[in-house]
Amino acid sequence: MRRPLFAATLAVLLLTGGWWAWNATARPQVDVAVAVVDFGPVAVPVTRVVALRNRGRAPLHVAGISTSCGCTTAAVDITTVPPGRAARLTITFDPDAHGPEEGPASHAVYVRTNDPGLPEAEIEVRAVVVKRASQ
């Protein structure tokens, strides 16, 4: 009579312990859909939306977003991304804010998260600034 009770108790402990071990290793994992956003030749502000996915098993928290130049802006639609879901990261490049120079431009968007493996993801933003003709 005692063996079935022991076996059942052991099974519950092992299953519960297995859940705790799985849960203890649950962590967020950021995955940016692209490493480079290339706008090509631009004379007016342009925008692109990039998926910011959470491939982990815990909520991904976006702690902050910054850019390397005032001509590039970025914003995310949600700051907590559930496991298996994605946020929309909107990146805008404004050639008028870049300055009077024409030619290639390369900047970066930095996304800081609670992913222990990649606390700061970087997306390169490229464009070729073409000034509009005077009207």
Q: How far apart are CA 26 and CA 18, in angstroms?
A: 12
- Write down how long the chain is: 135
- pLDDT tens for each residue of 90-107: 999 999 998 888 999 999
pLDDT for 43 equals 95
pLDDT for 13 equals 57
> CA dist 89 to 22, 75, 92, 99, Å?
30, 6, 10, 25
pLDDT for 39 equals 98
Q: How far apart are CA 125 and CA 2, in angstroms?
A: 68
- pLDDT confidence of 119, banded at 50, 70, 90? very high
- pLDDT confidence of 17, banded at 50, 70, 90? low
pLDDT for 134 equals 56
Would strands 103-113 and 120-129 be described as parallel, antiparallel, or unpaired?
antiparallel
- pLDDT confidence of 135, banded at 50, 70, 90? very low
pLDDT (mean) for 22-37? 85
Q: Residue 38: beta bridge partners?
A: 126
- pLDDT tens for each residue of 56-72: 999 999 999 999 999 99
pLDDT for 61 equals 98
